[in-house]
Amino acid sequence: MKRRRLQSIAACAFLFLAACGLVAWAQFRGGPPWRHPVASSRLIRVGDATIQVDFGPGSFDLSTDAILHWVGNAASSVATYYGRFPVTRDRVLIEAAPGRDILRGTSWGGVGGFPAFHRMVLGEQSTQQDLDEDWEMTHEFVHAAFPSLDDDHSWIEEGLATYIEPIARAQRGMMRPEVVWGGMMRDMRKGDLGSSDKGLDQTHTWGRTYWGGAQFCLLADVTIREQTHNQKGLQDALRAVVAAGGTIDKDWPLEKALEIGDRATGTHVLVEQYHSMRDAPKQVDLDGLWRRLGVVHSGDGVRFDDQAPDADIRKAITRVPATGLILPQP
């Protein structure tokens, strides 16, 4: 979740909680999160980037090294997808809470002296399995790789993070392609049109923000690859945005980012698709996409049909990029 663009939602939530007598702004208790107390710090290096990992007061059943390994793997996945970690300096604050699992992740840009800052709330009884199965740390790091936008465009910020997270982990070798595509086939329907849908810029439900945005990204990725004979994809467009300085600490209009992405792929897919979906409901034909990609429902998961017309596109999306793996440095 990117925090900068949720101020109006936060204000509504405050009024609701105040009316209920439940005001306890945990997110900013003791000041903004980047000013919360720090008990210890470590550094992780991924390519040319340095990530400062701070631990708030409290303790975990997991070792510090296990938590650092989790952060490093997520950063490595994102760096592998983008060909570099998106910002040269990043900060992650790990704070403890009762229970287990990753309870909440939030990202900000340009605060506390860092281009990107992520607050992760981790359960004190979290296990290694919880970290191994986690998606949130990778999701939050993806947010660092796109500029901050007006509130109406939150769907592209969350949609990108939702779509890229499993692909980045697959390219890093941490997820099997069957798991990636099985998850997409299971969850993409959450972004389908509702009865009151007015287009992506005008419809701010949870499903349309996260999964409607992810549908946009999937359709754009496949369309770019079809038009370029699988030589370019959404990944190339997004790498160009980062190379142009379009990271979380910058405020850009959305069309600037889309135009940069289109120039990098030699297409007009992103701008044209945005214009067709921003102010009017347009349903993505997911069933047609699965057929073209050769993703076939089977039991509790999927199987692949390598004779499908876009089977090579499906394979290319999760393949290790030509730039190779970018691993955390010891």
Assess if residue 330 is contained within a domain: no
Number of Cβ within 10 Å of residue 28's Cβ equals 11
Closest by CA position to 103, among listed 26, 181, 207, 17: 26
Alpha helices (H) in 119-268, listed in sequence order: 128-133, 136-143, 154-171, 177-187, 206-207, 213-227, 234-243, 254-265
If pLDDT is split at 50, 70 and 90, which confidence band does 2 have?
A: confident
pLDDT (average), residues 11-16 = 36
Residue 250 has a pLDDT of 98
Q: Please report the pLDDT score of residue 103 as a whole number.
A: 86
Q: Are residues 302 and 175 in the same domain?
A: yes
Same domain, 212 and 317: yes
Domain that holds residue 246: 151-325
Same domain, 321 and 177: yes
**Domain final position from 143, 172, 200:** 143
Same structural domain, 213 and 162: yes
Residues 105 and 172 in one domain: no
Domain boundary among 96, 127, 143: 143
Could you give the count of Cα atoms lying within 13 Å of 95 in the half-sphere of its Cβ? 21
Of the candidates 273, 274, 2, 270, the residue with the CA atom closest to the CA atom of residue 145: 2
For residues 114 and 86, the answer to whether their CB atoms sit within 8 Å is no
**Vertex 161: Cα angle to 247 and 201 (nearest 5):** 85
In a domain, 296, yes or no: yes
Q: Greatest CA separation found in the chain?
A: 60
In this structure, are 101 and 225 located in the same domain? no
| 173 and 316 belong to one structural domain | yes
pTM above 0.95, yes or no: no
291 inside domain: yes
Strands 89-97 and 49-55: parallel
**Are both 181 and 240 inside the same structural domain?**
yes
Q: Which of 96-105, 110-119, 172-181, 239-248 has the lowest mean pLDDT?
A: 96-105
pLDDT digits (tens, 9 = 90+) for 137-186: 999 999 999 999 999 999 999 999 999 999 999 999 999 999 999 999 99
Residue 229 shares a structural domain with residue 301: yes
Residue 238: partners with Cβ closer than 8 Å, 6 or more residues away:
82, 145, 146, 160, 164, 261
- Name the domain boundary from 143, 177, 200: 143
> 45 in a domain, yes or no?
yes
